[in-house]
Structure 1
C-alpha cells in the first residue's frame, strides 16, 4: 500500500474546518454572508410591511428594490439608492410623456419607447458605476410603468406614481436596516489602498525575495469577507500582475462608494483616485523589456539592487503604519534612492546602461508621485481631474441592440395579440438592457437566465403550497424569506452573483402578491409561460442580435492606444499635457482590452498583448518626458532639434514601427556623442533626453506587431497571421490587406 504524506492526506483548504471526518466552511468565511442575508431579509420584511401599510398596489416591487439596492458596502448602497430614485423619476416622467404623445398610436409608441431605451443603453455604456445603472433603469422603467396601462392610458400617471412609491419604500427600508446595522469605518478603504500599494511594491522587488515579502500577494477581500465589487461579473486572475490590476481597478469602485458614505473620504477622494490611477500606471512599467537581466556592468546592477531593496522594504513595512497617513519617512527614502540613481547614471557613458538606470529611476518617481497624491488635499491645491474613457463603438452597438430588442418584443406582442405578452416584455426588455452593457453579456445572459429558470419552480411552490396556507403578515414574510434566501445567499458570491440576482429579483415578479391578495391559477400559468418564452428570447438576443466580436473590440482598442501615443508626440510643445490623465485613459482602454480579449484568446496570448499595451503606455510616458526635457533652457539648441525630429518620427509608428525605432536610436546616439562637448549645466537633461530616446527605441522595436496598423490583432481570428507573435516584424505582403479597424 502506498503511503500518503500526512500533509497531503490531511490537507484542508484554509476556508474549511474538519469535524467528524467532514470538511465544513469555517465561521469566518460564512459570517459575512450570513450577516448580509439576515440584514437583507429584515429589509425585505420592513419594505413588505410598509407597502401593505401604505396600501400600495404592487407591494412586491418594494421587495424587488430591496434586493437590487442591498449591498454590504454602505456607500455602494447609498449611491445605488440615489441613482435608482433618479433613474426611476426620469423613466416614469418619460413614460407619462410618451403615453400622452401617442395614446392611440401603438406603433409610434413602440418606436418612441425603443428609441428612448436605445439611447439609455448607449449612455449607460459610456458611464461607470451606478450612474450607468441609472441610465439603463430610466429606459426600461418606461416598460414597467406602461405595461399595466396599455388597456387604459388614462391610468399612466397613477401607475408612474405607484412605481415611484414602491421604489421609495424599498430604498428607505434598505437604508434603515443597513445604516442601523453598519458602522462607518473610513480607515477600511485606506487600508485596502495601502495594502494594494504594498502588493504592487512587492511586484517590483527581487523575484527571489518576492515569496518572502508578499507570498502570493496579500489577498484582498473576496467571497470570504467584504467584497470590493459586489454582485459583479469577475474574471479569473492567472498571475500576480493580473491580480494586482484587478485589485487596483476594484479600488476605484471602493473609493467611489466610500466617498458617498464618509465625509473624511469625500474630502480626499480626488487624491485617492489620482493615487490609484498612478498605481495602475506604475503597473504598466512591469513588462519583459525591463524584467530581464540588466546590462552587465556595476552601475546597472547597483541600480537594480537598490530599487529591489527600496520596494522590498516598502512592502514589508508593518501594516499598522499606513503609508497614506505618514508617508514622510518613505518619501525621504525614495528621494535618497533617486539621488543615488542619478549618481550612478553620471558614472557611465554606456547608452543602454543610462537608459536602464533612467527607467529604474522613473519607477521610484512614479511611486513617490502616488504617495504625494494619497496624502490629501493639503498637497494638491488643484487636484487632478481624471477623465472617463468613452467607448463610442460599443455604446452605439449596445444602444442599437437595446432599441432593436425593445421594438422586436413589442411587435411580437402586438402582432400575436397575446394577452400576457406584457409579462414577457417586463422580463425580456429589463434583462436585455441590464446585460447589454456588460462586456461578457453572452456568458452573463446564460447565468442570468439560469437563475430566472430556477425561480420558476420556486414561484410555483410558493404560490401553490405556501401562500394559500398562511394567515397574517409574519407567515407571509417567513415564507418569502425561505424562498428568497437561496438567491440572496448567491448574490454575495461574485462567481454566482448573476444567477442569484436573476433568481431573487424575478421570483418576486412571478409570485403574484397583490393588495388585496388573490389566487388565479390560469393567470399564474400564463405568467410563468411568458417568462419561459422570455428566457429563450434572452439567450437569442445575445447570440443572434448584434453579438459582440471581442477580437474586433480588442483590435479597435489597440489602435486607439496607438493613435493616442502618436497624437501625444505630435502635440505642440506649448500645449499642456496632464500625464496622469492621459495615462489613466490608456489604462482604462487596456483593462477593457484584457477583459474582452481573455474571452477569445488563451492566457499566454493575453499576457503577450498586455505586455505590448503596457509598452505603448511606457512609450507615451517617455514622449511626455521628452516634451518636458527639450524645454529646459540648459539643453543645447542642436540637441533640442534632434529630440524634436525624433518626436516627429512617431508619425510612422503605425505604418513603419521599425523605422521609427531606428530614427529614435540614431537620435539618441547623436545626442549622447556630443554631450561632453556641451556646458556642464546641460549634461543632466541632455543625458536624460538620450536615455528617453534609447528606451523608446527599445520599446517600439520589441512589439512592432502591436503598433502596426496591419498587425496580428487587427486580423480576424481565422486569417493567416492572426496568431503571429507581436515581436515579429510585419511582412510586406500582409500590408496590402485592408485594415479591419478604422
Structure 2
C-alpha cells in the first residue's frame, strides 16, 4: 500500500526547487550581472581610495571618479579604456603644463586656448567611434582638470600635475585589476553567441523570403537590423581581441565575416529587388524560373535550423551551398537554351542567373569563414581590408563647438565673478561636454547626467555632514562608499537611463568623495555644489543651442554624403573598392540611425537612398570589373558607347528629376544595344564577348532599378537632398 500510494510532496518540492533554480539562473544572467558589475565598481573605488590615502595623495576622490569613468562590465573594454585614458591623461597634462608655462599670467588667453584644445579633443572623441575616443576625451578633460587649479597657483603647477596623474593612474590600475581578477566577464565569451544570433537572423530571413512568390516589402527593416547588429558586433570584436590570444588569432577572420555578411546581404537585397522588378515588368516566365531556383536555397536553409549551431555544421552547410549553387547554374544554363524566351526575357534570365550566382558565392564565402573559426590558424586569416568607422567630420566639429562654447562661457564667468568655485564649474563643465560628445543624443545625455548629479548632490551632502564625521577607520568608510555608489553603478548598466548613473557615480564622488585630509566646511561644499549645477545647466544649454545633434541639417548632410558614395563606385580605383564602398555606405547609414529621429526626414527616405546606392553602385562596380578585362583594340572600340549610360546615371544622385531620368534611360538603351552587338561580335575574343555579356546584365539591372517605384530614383515627390560637393 505504501509503495502504491506515494506522497505528492516530494514531487511538488522538486518542481518548486527546479522553478526556483531556473528563476535564479535567469536573474544571474540579467540583473545578477548588473549587480556584479556594481559590486566590482564599488570594490575598485574602495581600493583606489584606500591606496590613495596610504600614499597620502591629496584627493583620493579623483582616483574614485576615474574608476567609474573607466569601469565597464567587460574586462577587455576596461583595459582598452584604461590604456587610452592613460595616454589621454599624459597628453592632457603636457598641454596643461605648456599652457600654464606660457600663459599662466594671462587667464583669459589661457581659458581661450584651453577651450580650443577641449574642442579639438571633443571633436576627436566624436570622430572616432571606438576605444580611442576615450583617449581624446581625457586629453581634453585632463587639461582642464590640471590646468585650472594650476592657473590659481602657477608655482604649484608641477605638484598639482604630478598628484593628479598619480591619482588618475591609480584609478585606472585599480579598475583594470578588479575587472580582470574578480569574476571577470570577457567579451570573447559573447562572440560566438553573438555571431550565431546574427547569422541565424539573416539565414532565417533568407529561408522565409526566397521560397515566397510574393513581393518582399520589409527589406528596409532587414537592413536596419543588420546594420545595427554589425555595429554592435564590431564593438564587441575590438574589445575581445584585447582579452585572449585565441581572439587575437581570429581577429582578421571576424572582420572578414563582417565584410562578407555585408556583401551577401547586398547581393540578397539586389536579388529580391530584381525579382520584384520582374513581377512589375510582367516577365512572369523568367520570374517563375527564378522562383524555382532561389526557392531551393531558401528550402535548404529552412530544412537545417542548426546550419551554424557549430563550426562543424557550418562546414557542412557551406559544402551543400556550393553544390546547390552549381546545380542551379547548370539548370539556368539549360533553361536559357530552350525556345520560348523573348530577347528581353533572355536578358532578364541571364541577369537573374548572374545575381543568383553572385549571391550564392558571397553567402558561401561567409559560411566558409564562419566555419574556419574553429581553427586557431587558418588561411582565411590573411585578410587586410580595413573597416574603420568614422563619424561625419561636421558632426564631430559640432561636438567640439558645443564643448568650446560651454568652456568659454564657464571660463569667462569665472573671471568676471572671481568666484572661488568657478574653477570647479569650468573643469566639470568640460568633463560633461567630453562625456556627452560620444552619445547619439548629447542633449539627452547631458540632461540625464544633470539629474544624476542632483541626486548625487543630495547623497553627497548626507555623506559629508551626516556619515563621514561618525566613521572610525577605513572599513566603515569602505562600507559607506559601497552603499552610496552601488545603486548608481547598477543604473549605469541600463542603456536608456545610463546617463543618470554616470552623473551620479562621476560627479557625486567629485563633490563628496574622500579628501586627504577631509574638509567639512559647509560654505565650500555648497559653493562646489552650486558650481556643479551651473556646469550642468551650461553644458546642457550648449548641447541644445550650439549646432544641436537633433538638427535636421545633420540628417540631410549624412543622407547627401550617402548619395555621394555613388561617385566612389564610379571613380575610385578598383583594388579593394567593393569592400570600401560597402563599408562606407553602411557606416554612413549607421550614423544616420544613431542620430535622434526627426519628423522632417523620416528614416524611410535615407533607407530608400541606401537601397538605391547599394543597388546601382554595386552594378557600376560589376560593370567596371568586367570592362577592366577588355583590353584588345577591337574590344575597346565597343566600350565607349557602352560606358555612356553610367555617366548619364550619376547626375540623378544629385538631382532626381523626370527629365534626367529619361535621359539616363535613353542612354541605357543605347549602351545596352552597343554591349549586345559586342557580345555577338564574332571577331572578338570569346573571353571579351563573355565580359560584354556581363556588362549587359549590369546595365539591365540599372535600367530595372530606374523604373522601380520602390527605388529612390524611381520615386517622385520625395524630399530632395543635394549631394555635397566633396566627400
- The TM tier, using the shorter chain, reads 0.7 to 0.9
Give the superposition deviation at 1:702.
Answer: 3.8
Contact 2:86 2:169 in 1 (8 A): yes
1:245-644 correspondence runs (5 A): 245-284=227-266, 285-286=268-269, 289-290=273-274, 292=276, 295-297=283-285, 298-312=288-302, 316-317=306-307, 319=309, 321-322=310-311, 327-346=314-333, 347-348=335-336, 350=345, 351-371=347-367, 374=370, 375=372, 378-379=379-380, 381-389=382-390, 391-548=392-549, 550-571=551-572, 576-596=575-595, 599-601=597-599, 605-633=602-630, 636-637=635-636, 640-644=639-643
C-alpha spacing 1:651/1:608, structure 2 compared with 1 (3 Å): closer
Q: Which residue of 2 aligns with 1:202?
A: 204
Q: Which residue of 1 aligns with 2:697?
A: 691
Give the superposition deviation at 1:50.
Answer: 0.9
C-alpha spacing 1:198/1:69, structure 2 compared with 1 (3 Å): same
Q: Which residue of 2 aligns with 1:243?
A: 225
Local SS of the residue matching 2:170: helix
| TM-score, structure 1 normalization | 0.83
Give the superposition deviation at 1:673.
Answer: 6.5
After superposition, the C-alpha distances for 1:582-602 in whole angstroms (9 at most, x for unaligned) are: 210121111112222x51039
Contact 1:449 1:538 in 2 (8 A): no
Contact 1:33 1:489 in 2 (8 A): yes
C-alpha spacing 1:209/1:303, structure 2 compared with 1 (3 Å): closer
Q: Which one has a bigger Cα radius of gyration?
A: 2
Give the superposition deviation at 1:169.
Answer: 1.3
Local SS of the residue matching 1:438: coil
Give the superposition deviation at 1:701.
Answer: 4.2
CA RMSD of aligned residues (A): 3.3
Q: Distance in 2 between matches of 1:336 and 1:611?
A: 34
After superposition, the C-alpha distances for 1:157-184 in whole angstroms (9 at most, x for unaligned) are: 1111111111211122122222113265
The 10-residue stretch of structure 1 (653-662 or 359-368) with the greater mean CA deviation from structure 2: 653-662
Contact 1:267 1:377 in 2 (8 A): no
Give the superposition deviation at 1:245.
Answer: 2.3
After superposition, the C-alpha distances for 1:640-661 in whole angstroms (9 at most, x for unaligned) are: 3443223333343324345334
Q: Distance in 2 between matches of 1:314 and 1:391?
A: 42
2:661 corresponds to 1:660: no
After superposition, the C-alpha distances for 1:548-595 in whole angstroms (9 at most, x for unaligned) are: 3542222222222222212432457xx534311221012111111222
C-alpha spacing 1:50/1:610, structure 2 compared with 1 (3 Å): same
C-alpha spacing 1:132/1:246, structure 2 compared with 1 (3 Å): same
Q: Which residue of 2 aligns with 1:117?
A: 118
After superposition, the C-alpha distances for 1:1-27 in whole angstroms (9 at most, x for unaligned) are: xxxxxxxxxxxxxxxx999xx999844
C-alpha spacing 1:48/1:631, structure 2 compared with 1 (3 Å): same
1:170-249 correspondence runs (5 A): 170-180=171-181, 181-182=183-184, 186=188, 188-207=190-209, 239=221, 241-249=223-231
Q: Which residue of 1 aligns with 2:13?
A: none
Q: Distance in 1 between matches of 2:294 and 2:223?
A: 20
What count of residue pairs does the alignment treat as equivalent? 670
The 10-residue stretch of structure 1 (292-301 or 541-550) with the greater mean CA deviation from structure 2: 292-301
Give the superposition deviation at 1:389.
Answer: 3.5
Local SS of the residue matching 1:206: helix
Q: Which residue of 2 aligns with 1:645?
A: 644
Contact 2:406 2:539 in 1 (8 A): no
Q: Which residue of 2 aligns with 1:715?
A: none
C-alpha spacing 1:389/1:26, structure 2 compared with 1 (3 Å): closer
Q: Which residue of 2 aligns with 1:671?
A: 675
Bigger share in helix: 2
After superposition, the C-alpha distances for 1:513-557 in whole angstroms (9 at most, x for unaligned) are: 211223111111111111122222222111122323542222222
The 10-residue stretch of structure 1 (141-150 or 81-90) with the greater mean CA deviation from structure 2: 141-150
Q: Distance in 2 between matches of 1:632 and 1:345?
A: 25
Q: Distance in 1 between matches of 2:179 and 2:481?
A: 20
Contact 2:80 2:242 in 1 (8 A): yes
C-alpha spacing 1:447/1:23, structure 2 compared with 1 (3 Å): farther
Contact 1:569 1:650 in 2 (8 A): no
